């Protein structure tokens, strides 16, 4: 008995302190937890280091070296010297400097690496957008499942009340056995559907837990009674976005950057035809006991000009290859343009339809509530049966479910619309929508 009481209080405590999660908050947690985002960030960091490597080529390369030499000599015996052998030791200190004065290949390669960094940044942002789609879709499916559970509970209550009524009428020989069996089937069907939906709801919650790395999640109970679309969307903003969505879209920006990158790679391939000019300086100090060495240090500097004359057609082939890739990038741009135009037209149309649908269901919900009030008054005055009351309540749950479902569909379309226009920073508005619906 004590164990049962302890478990009851433990469950109650966990429920009270479970985190009420909102969608944008879930997305921020998923960003911190996502391995793919971490991988994309590390790849971007790696590309930035590649850029730093090429930047370093603009700076002089300075090296210091020490050479120790020990040389044994054996003299010619014909010289009639008493000492046939001799050893010479030397210690040389050198400092050298190499500086590129002109290298078009380095300049063009630096431009290529800068553009690659931009491209990886765009791809990282695209990964974040895909993650936001996954999080918001899962969250909205969980909310929809939660509301469907309420609806199915209403169905079950209605059918059980109806079965009790038919059971009494059957005992009074007013209803047939077939009526009782039929309503029993409906009750069992409601139970099965409720069990399936509860299992599905747990699946959505589990995915949210995996995305956010949270152990306890509680979704808010939403009614959307005071929901106004006009407070979320400005029609003028929609029309303005209609003219500029292409330039804002990350997929379009990625292909555009790829085209620019391909042109820079063409320039880099051509750079192999250009001459190179390098400066080299060296200072060496000798510390030697050699009897033949008449100097102690040397200073040397030189300017080297390298002019490429022939490479067997390698450079020309490389330039041609990069130009072919550039042509392919232009074709990709046309594909993306057409695809985004279709997506935008579909989203824009769906958004307008969804707005109208939400408004219609809101009116229907208000009408069903008025009808329920009328039936409740009749029930209190003995003019309506409990079946009539449950049926009216059930109708309210049905319309409320469809109303909230339409709002969720509107939110999902709006999320896709924001992502298409690269307005991911405005996804926090979805939290405001949910909070207003509490």
Measure the N-to-C terminal CA separation of the chain; round to a whole number of Å: 37
Each residue's pLDDT, cut to its tens digit, for the chain (438 residues) gives: 445 444 444 444 444 446 688 999 999 999 999 999 999 999 999 999 999 999 999 999 999 999 888 777 666 655 555 555 667 777 888 999 999 999 999 999 999 999 999 999 999 999 999 999 999 999 999 999 999 999 899 889 888 988 888 888 888 888 888 888 888 999 999 999 999 999 999 999 999 999 999 988 899 888 777 777 766 666 556 655 556 778 889 999 999 999 999 999 999 999 999 999 999 999 988 776 655 555 567 888 899 999 999 888 999 999 999 999 999 999 999 999 999 999 988 988 888 888 889 889 989 988 999 999 999 999 888 888 888 888 888 888 889 889 888 988 888 888 898 898 888 888 888 888 787 766
Residue 233 backbone class (left: φ over 0; alpha: ψ -120 to 50; beta: rest): beta
SS3 call for 200: helix
**With contact defined as beta carbons under 8 Å apart, do 95 and 64 qualify?**
yes
**With contact defined as beta carbons under 8 Å apart, do 227 and 433 qualify?**
yes
- Sign of the CA dihedral running 232, 236, 240, 245: positive
Please report the pLDDT score of residue 9 as a whole number: 43
**With contact defined as beta carbons under 8 Å apart, do 388 and 375 qualify?**
yes
Residue 18 DSSP symbol: S
Beta-strand runs (E) in 222-360: 276-288, 297-306
How many helices (H) and strands (E) the chain has is answered by 10, 6
**H/E segment holding residue 102:** strand 85-103
Cα 23 from Cα 435, distance rounded (Å): 11
- The residue among 222, 137, 151, 197 whose CA lies nearest residue 404 is 222
Cα 256 from Cα 242, distance rounded (Å): 19
- Calculate the CA 191 to chain-centre distance: 39
Calculate ∠ Cα 159-165-168, nearest 5°.
140
CATH code: domain 21-72+86-436 is 1.20.1600.10
Per DSSP, helices labelled H in 232-313 are 235-248, 250-270
- The residue among 6, 10, 403, 12 whose CA lies nearest residue 224 is 403
**With contact defined as beta carbons under 8 Å apart, do 261 and 68 qualify?**
no
Calculate ∠ Cα 168-171-174, nearest 5°.
85
Calculate ∠ Cα 405-408-409, nearest 5°.
90
Q: CB within 8 A of 195, min separation 6: which ones?
A: none
Residues present in the chain in total:
438
Please report the pLDDT score of residue 12 as a whole number: 44
**With contact defined as beta carbons under 8 Å apart, do 193 and 152 qualify?**
yes
Cα 127 from Cα 277, distance rounded (Å): 43
- Calculate the CA 350 to chain-centre distance: 24
Place of tokens 């309210």: 396
283-340 pLDDT, tens digit per residue, is 988 776 655 555 567 888 899 999 999 888 999 999 999 999 999 999 999 999 999 9
**Domains of the chain by residue range:** 21-72+86-436
Please report the pLDDT score of residue 44 as a whole number: 95
For the entire predicted model, the pTM comes to: 0.82
Q: CB within 8 A of 380, min separation 6: which ones?
A: none
Bridge-based pairing of strands 85-103 and 217-218 is unpaired
Beta bridge partners of 70: 89
Residue 425 DSSP symbol: G
Place of tokens 């985004």: 340
Residue 313 DSSP symbol: T
């Amino acid at each position: 008995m004590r164990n049962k009481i302890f478990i009851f209080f433990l469950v109650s405590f966990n429920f009270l302190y479970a985190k009420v999660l909102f969608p944008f908050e879930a997305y921020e947690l998923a960003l911190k937890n996502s391995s793919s985002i971490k991988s994309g960030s590390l790849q971007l960091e790696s590309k930035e280091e590649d850029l730093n490597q090429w930047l370093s080529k603009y700076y002089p390369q300075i090296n210091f070296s020490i050479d120790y030499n020990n040389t044994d000599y054996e003299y010619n015996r014909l010289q009639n010297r008493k000492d046939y052998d001799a050893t010479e030791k030397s210690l040389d200190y050198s400092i050298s400097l190499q500086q590129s004065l002109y290298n078009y290949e380095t300049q063009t390669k630096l431009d290529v690496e800068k553009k690659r960094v931009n491209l990886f940044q765009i791809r990282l942002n695209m990964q974040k957008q895909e993650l936001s789609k996954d999080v918001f879709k899962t969250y909205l499916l969980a909310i929809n499942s939660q509301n469907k559970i309420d609806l199915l509970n209403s169905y079950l209550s209605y059918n059980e009340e109806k079965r009790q009524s038919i059971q009494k009428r059957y005992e009074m020989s007013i209803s047939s056995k077939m009526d009782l069996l039929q309503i029993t089937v409906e009750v069992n069907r409601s139970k099965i559907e409720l069990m399936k939906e509860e299992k599905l709801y747990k699946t959505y919650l589990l995915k949210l837990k995996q995305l956010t790395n949270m152990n306890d999640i509680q979704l808010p109970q939403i009614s959307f009674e005071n929901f106004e679309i006009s407070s979320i969307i400005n029609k003028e903003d929609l029309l303005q976005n209609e003219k500029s969505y292409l330039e804002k879209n990350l997929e379009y920006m990625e292909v555009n950057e790829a085209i620019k990158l391909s042109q820079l790679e063409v320039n880099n391939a051509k750079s192999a035809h250009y001459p190179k000019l390098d400066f080299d300086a060296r200072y060496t100090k000798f510390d030697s006991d050699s009897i033949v060495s008449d100097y102690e240090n040397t200073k040397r500097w030189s300017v080297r000009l390298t002019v490429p004359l022939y490479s067997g057609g390698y450079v020309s082939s490389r330039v041609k290859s990069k130009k072919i890739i550039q042509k392919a990038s232009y074709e990709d741009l046309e594909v993306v343009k057409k695809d985004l135009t279709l997506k935008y037209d579909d989203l824009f149309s769906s958004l307008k339809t969804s707005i109208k649908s939400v408004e219609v269901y809101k009116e229907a919900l208000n009408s069903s509530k008025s009808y329920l009030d009328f039936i409740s008054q009749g029930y209190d005055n003995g003019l309506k049966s409990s079946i009539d009351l449950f049926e009216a309540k059930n109708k309210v749950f049905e319309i409320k479910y469809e109303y909230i479902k339409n709002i969720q569909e509107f939110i999902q379309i709006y999320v896709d619309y924001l992502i298409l226009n690269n307005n991911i920073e405005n996804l926090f508005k979805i939290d405001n929508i949910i909070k207003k619906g509490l």
